[in-house]
């Protein structure tokens, strides 16, 4: 029987290293502006020294390649649902087949315990298959019994059926509406478009080095940086128009999120400092004011980030 290659979410391991040239990496670093040589350990991923920036670019490129490899050949929802139905139906069919065995067939499949101490190929197979769990025929002393194997198969059928129900919804036909057709699969649904992912990650690193300078301009330094990182990841030197499209979709939303964070950060610090200072009426009043103001601002920050999720850009059905 020809068995198709089994898809695995770990298929990227050992294959996701950047494919581009060192020159692409060099140009990506240049697009971030002058970098420092002094490492700032307390900043972790936000350190602007050349070594940390290079590591971050390499990580973004490797993650891009890993996602691309995982998405390629990943199953569609309908495929997974069909696989689970086959397992469920197979377990049911096997259980029903065993239960339907006549006593002669049941007796033929059983091997007396006294023979199991011998070492023969058929006995080794019987033990490996746990043949002692097969249905038992009726005897003069005992009634026929379906046996533990049938019990396990029935439990397996019910278990897989419940998993399938959780996966597709109560109505299995929902699978059809979820599986939108076209060039999509479960991992693409989860990870989002590759261009969306690399643009968002590049935005964070670019803004860390050149605050407030990232724009959707076709001639701006941010697009130049994204193109260099993409070239470093893939080895493809032709510009990818999808990257610019996603920059145009995301730039305003990401800028709004950044502005809210810049507003929230100092207020959070102020609140923490006030709580550490000696208590005064003025301080207590300001603490109360901030505690009343900050929850709404925090929610606004979260909502602004959620607005950049790739699922918000799906075509309207």
Do residue 164 and residue 253 come from a single domain? no
Distance, in Å, from the CA atom of 19 to the CA atom of 234, rounded to the nearest integer, reads 5
At residue 273, the 3 state secondary structure works out as helix
Distance, in Å, from the CA atom of 177 to the CA atom of 189, rounded to the nearest integer, reads 14
pLDDT of residue 177: 47
Q: How many domains does the chain have?
A: 2
pLDDT of residue 316: 57
Task: Identify whether the C-beta of residue 73 lies closer than 8 Å to the C-beta of residue 7.
Answer: yes
Do residue 230 and residue 159 come from a single domain? no
pLDDT of residue 216: 95
Beta bridge partners of 300: none
The two tokens of residue 246 are 């996603």
Do residue 305 and residue 203 come from a single domain? yes
Do residue 52 and residue 195 come from a single domain? yes
Task: Identify whether the C-beta of residue 69 lies closer than 8 Å to the C-beta of residue 194.
Answer: no
pLDDT of residue 12: 84
Distance, in Å, from the CA atom of 46 to the CA atom of 185, rounded to the nearest integer, reads 34
Q: Write out the chain's pLDDT in tens, 317 residues.
A: 566 678 888 878 889 999 999 999 999 999 998 888 888 887 766 888 999 999 999 999 999 999 999 998 899 999 999 999 999 999 999 999 999 999 999 999 988 877 777 788 888 899 899 999 999 999 999 999 999 999 999 999 999 999 999 998 855 554 444 555 556 789 998 999 999 999 999 999 999 999 999 999 999 999 999 999 999 999 998 888 999 999 999 999 999 999 999 999 999 999 999 999 999 999 999 999 999 999 999 999 999 999 999 999 876 54
With respect to residue 202, please indicate whether it lies within any of the assigned structural domains. yes
pLDDT of residue 315: 66
With respect to residue 6, please indicate whether it lies within any of the assigned structural domains. no
Q: Burial of 42 by CB count in 10 Å (0-12 exposed, 13-18 middle, 19+ buried)?
A: exposed
With respect to residue 119, please indicate whether it lies within any of the assigned structural domains. yes
Q: How many alpha carbons lie under 13 Å from residue 201 in its C-beta half-sphere?
A: 20
Q: What's the pTM value of the predicted model, to 2 decimals?
A: 0.80
């Amino acid at each position: 029987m020809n068995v198709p290659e089994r898809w695995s979410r770990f298929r990227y391991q050992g294959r996701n290293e950047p494919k581009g040239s060192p020159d692409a990496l060099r140009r990506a670093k240049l697009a971030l502006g002058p970098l420092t040589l002094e490492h700032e350990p307390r900043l972790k991923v936000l350190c602007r020294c050349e070594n940390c920036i290079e590591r971050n670019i390499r990580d973004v490129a490797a993650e891009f390649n890993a996602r691309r490899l995982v998405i390629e050949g990943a199953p569609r929802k309908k495929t997974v649902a069909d696989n689970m139905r086959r397992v469920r139906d197979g377990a049911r069919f096997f259980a029903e087949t065993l239960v339907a065995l006549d006593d002669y067939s049941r007796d033929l499949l059983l091997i007396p315990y006294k023979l199991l101490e011998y070492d023969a190929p058929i006995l080794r197979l019987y033990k490996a298959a746990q043949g002692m769990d097969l249905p038992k025929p009726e005897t003069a002393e005992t009634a026929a019994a379906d046996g533990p194997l049938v019990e396990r198969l029935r439990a397996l059928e019910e278990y897989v059926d419940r998993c399938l129900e959780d996966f597709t919804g109560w109505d299995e036909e929902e699978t059809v509406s979820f599986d939108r057709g076209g060039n999509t699969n479960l991992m693409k649904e989860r990870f989002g478009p590759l261009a969306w992912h690399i643009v968002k990650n590049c935005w964070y690193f670019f803004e860390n080095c050149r605050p407030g300078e990232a724009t959707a301009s076709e001639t701006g330094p941010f697009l130049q940086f994204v193109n260099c990182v993409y070239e470093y990841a893939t080895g493809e030197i032709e510009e990818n128009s999808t990257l610019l499209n996603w920059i145009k979709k995301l730039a305003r939303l990401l800028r709004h999120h950044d502005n809210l964070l810049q507003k929230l950060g100092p207020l959070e610090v102020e609140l923490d400092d006030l709580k550490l200072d000696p208590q005064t009426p003025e301080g207590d009043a300001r603490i109360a004011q901030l505690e009343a103001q900050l929850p709404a601002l925090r929610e606004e920050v979260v909502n602004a980030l959620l607005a950049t999720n790739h699922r918000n850009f799906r075509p309207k059905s």
